Chain A
Amino acid sequence: MSENSSILDNIESCRLIHRGGEADIYLASGNSSKFVLKWYRNGSAFETEVVEKLKCIRIPGTCRIRESGLRDGNPYLVYDFVEGVSSRDVGHIPVPVALGLLREVAQSLLALNAVGVHHGDLNPANVLLNRNPDKSGFPVQTTLVDFGIVGPGTPGYAAPERFQGRPASTASDLFSLGMLLYRWITGEDLIQASGYEEFQDEILRIDSISVDEKLYASGDFTATEIAALSPLWKALLRQNAEERCEDFDELDEVAEIALGTLEVGEIKASVDAQKFAKALENQKPGGFPPDGSANGLDMAFPYEKRGIAHPKKKWKYMYLAVFGLILTLMAFFFIVGTNSSDIDETGNLLLKKSRNSVTMEPDSGLESQDSLPSTILKDLPTPSLD
C-alpha cells in the first residue's frame, strides 16, 4: 500500500486503550470502519516475514492484518476491529464447551502453522468469542488476535522455553493452550505471581504442579471431568517441549477423546454450547482489543497525520475534475474536431496546381558562357506558369 493511501491517514479518531510491554494498542476509526492500531515502542518490532504472509492470506478464526509499515520511525500494524467477547471476560466455561473452544482454536493454529506462523501470545484476552452464525458448526466462534508475537508473550501463559528467549513454536503455543484451557474452565489463572521473575520460576516447575489436584480441591469439577481432562494437561503442560503432544492434530484427537470420556452425550454438549453462545450475546460486546477507555487512557494519535483531503471531499473533487475534463474535451472536439484544418490536403492541391500546368516554351539557346541568360530562365519550364 502506498504511503498516500495508508489507513493511518484516513483515521478520524484514535484512542489509546492499552499500553503493553512492546506496543501500545489504539482503537481507531475512519471511513466508517474500526481498526486496531498496534504501535510498537522501545525498539520493538513485528516479524516482517510473518506479517507479509498474514497480509496475503485469510485464515478462518484469525484477525486480519490490514496494513503494516513504519510511520515516524515506528513500526505499526493495523488490524481489523473484531466484534466479540474476550474469553478473559466470560468467567468459568463449562468443560464440554471449553473443550469445544479448544478444538476451534487448535484448528486456527493448525492453519497458521501451515503457513509457518505461530501465535506466540495465547492468552484469554487474545481469543474472542462470538455466536457462530453457521448453525452446522460449533455454536461458538473463536477469533485469534494479536498473533506473530516476537517477545515471550503474557507471562502467566508463556511456555518455559519462551522465558529462555526461544521463538514461538507449535510446542510453545500448545503449552499456552493448556494454560488457557485451565483459565477457561476455572475462571482463574493456573500460575499466579506478582512479577516476571516469579512467573518464570513457577512456569519452569510446571511439571511439579498437579492440575488434577487443583481441580479436585476447587470442588467445582466432577471426578469424570477431572479424569477426562487429565490427559490434556499431560499433553500440554510439560516443562520439556518434547514431552508435549506433537501438533494440533494430535491435540484435537486428545480433546475429542476427553469429550467422549465426559459422557455428557452429544445432544447435551451441543445444548450447553448453544446456551453459552446465547449468553455471549447478552454480554456487553467488546472486541479486539478490549475497550480500555474506562481506565482513563488518553485519546491521541501516536503519529502525525499527513495532509490528505477527507475521502469524501477527495471524491467530490475527483468527480468535479472528471466532469470538468469531459466538458473541456467536448468543447475542444467541438471547436477542433469538426473543423479539421487538413493543411496537407491544401499542400497537395497547391503542388498539383503547380505541376499540372507544365508547358514548353521555345528554347532560344545559350547566349553566354558565364551564366545562364535571363531569357533562358524566363522560358524555362516551371511548375505553374502559363
Chain B
Amino acid sequence: MATFAFALLLAACVENDVRRGNDALRIGDYDRAVTSFNKALDADPAHRDARYGLALSYYAIAEASERLRVPTFDLWSQAAKEFRILSNIDSSGKINANYSTCLFYLARAALKRDGSVDVMPMLNQSIQLDSLNYFSYNLKALILAKSDIPDNLKAAKNIYIHIITHDPLFVSAYINLGNIYWDEGDVEAAWDTWSAGLQKSPKNQSLIHWTHVAEDSLKAMVLSGRL
C-alpha cells in the first residue's frame, strides 16, 4: 500500500513537471521547459510526454536560432536525437510530422556545414515519416537535380511535379522545375512552369523576374526565327 501510494505521488510529481515544462514551452521559455522536462525524465526516463516535450523544446530552440541565421547543426542534432529516442517509446504516429520536419532542418543544416555530405537517407526518412513534408521533397529534388545523371534529373522533375500537383501553393517547386527546363534550353517549358507559379503567387518577385526573362527569350527566339 505504502509503495503504491509512493508510486502515485511520484507519478503526480512527474506529471507536474511535464505540465510546467509544457507551459514554459508554450510561452517561449525554452530553457525552463528543458529543465522541467529533464527533471521529469530523471524520475521516469520512459515518460512519453516528458520526452516529447524535451524534443519539442530543442526543436523550438533550434528553429529560433534559424531566424538568427546562426549555425544550427548541433541544435538540430540534439532535437533529432530526442525524437529518435521518443520514437522508441511512441509508435502512435503523433510525433511523426514534427520528427520529419526536424530531420529536414537537420539535413539542411548538415549541407550548410558541409556541402558534400550525403543527407539523402535523412531526407528519405523524413519523407517516410510524413509524406506531406514537401520541404524535404524539395531539398531532395534539388540534390538530385545538381547531379549529372540523367535519371536523377528526371527524378527531380517528377518530384517537383508531385509537389505542385499535391500542393499548388508550394512556389519553390515551380521555380526549381523552371530552372531545370531553362538549363536544358527548353525556354518554352520554363516559361510555362514559371508563369503557372506566377498565377498562384502573382507577387512573387522571383517568378515575376524569371517569367519576364523567359518571355523576352521567347520573343527573341521568334524574331530570330529559332522558334
A380 to B140, CA, bound (A): 11
Judge if A1 is at the interface, Cβ distance under 8 Å.
no
Residues of B contacting A366 in the complex (Cβ-Cβ under 8 angstroms): 142, 145-146, 179
**A370 partner residues in chain B, CB cutoff 8 A:** 115-116
Report how many residues on chain A are interfacial, defined by Cβ distance under 8 Å. 45
User: Looking at the complex, which one of A339, A351, A360, A383 makes contact with B19 (CB distance below 8 Å)?
Assistant: A339
Distance between B40 CB and nearest chain A CB, rounded to angstroms: 9
**Complex formed: what's the CA distance from A184 to B115 in Å?**
115
Q: Which of A346, A351, A360, A363 contacts B101 (CB 8 A)?
A: A351
CA–CA, A370 to B211, complex, Å? 28
A343/B1 in contact, CB under 8 A: no
- A332 on interface, CB distance cutoff 8 Å: yes
What is the bound-complex CA distance between A329 and B12, given in angstroms? 10
Q: Which of A317-352 touch B at CB < 8 Å?
A: 321, 324-325, 328-329, 331-332, 335-336, 339-344, 346-347, 349-351
A210 close to B (CB within 8 Å): no
By secondary structure, the B interface counts as helix
Cβ-defined contact, B204 with A349, below 8 A = no
Taking CB atoms, residues of chain B closer than 8 Å to A378 are 69, 112
Cα–Cα, bound, A351→B19 (Å): 19
Given known contacts A332-B8, A347-B52, A349-B26, is B19 in contact with A341 (CB within 8 Å)?
Answer: yes
Tell me how far the C-beta of B103 lies from the nearest C-beta in chain A, rounded to whole angstroms. 12
A377 touches B1 (CB 8 A): no
Tell me, yes or no, whether B205 is within 8 Å of chain A by CB: yes
Contact of A382 among B66, B179, B209 (CB under 8 A): B66
- Min distance, Cβ A329 to any Cβ of chain B, angstroms: 7
For B18, list chain A residues within 8 Å (CB).
341, 343
Which chain B positions have C-beta within 8 A of A346?
22, 25-26, 53, 56
Q: Taking the nearest CB of chain B, how far is it from the CB of A153, in angstroms?
A: 53
Q: Nearest residue in A to B145 (C-beta to C-beta)?
A: A366
Question: Which residues of chain B are near A344, meaning CB under 8 Å?
Answer: 52, 94
Cα distance, A360 to B170, chains bound together (Å)? 8
Q: Does A164 contact B (CB under 8 A)?
A: no
- In residues 338-386 of chain A, which contact B (Cβ within 8 Å)? 339-344, 346-347, 349-351, 354-355, 358, 360-363, 365-366, 368-374, 376-378, 380-385
**CB neighbours of B205 from chain A (8 A):** 362
Report yes or no: B172 in contact with A374, Cβ–Cβ below 8 A: no
Interface residues of A in 72-102 (CB under 8 A from B): none
B182-226 residues at the A interface, CB under 8 angstroms: 201, 204-207, 209
Within 8 Å of chain A (Cβ to Cβ): is B120? no
- A-B contacts, 21 listed (Cβ < 8 Å): A325-B1, A332-B8, A332-B9, A336-B15, A339-B15, A341-B22, A343-B53, A344-B52, A351-B97, A355-B101, A363-B175, A363-B176, A371-B111, A372-B143, A374-B112, A380-B135, A380-B142, A380-B172, A381-B171, A382-B66, A382-B105
- In addition to A358-B170, A377-B112, 7 A-B residue pairs with Cβ atoms within 8 Å of each other are A325-B4, A343-B56, A351-B101, A358-B169, A366-B146, A378-B69, A382-B104
Q: Which residues of B contact A (CB under 8 A)?
A: 1, 4-5, 8-9, 11-12, 15-16, 18-19, 21-22, 25-26, 49, 52-53, 56, 59-60, 63, 66-67, 69, 94-95, 97-98, 101, 104-105, 108, 111-112, 114-116, 135, 138-139, 142-143, 145-146, 148, 169-172, 175-176, 179, 201, 204-207, 209
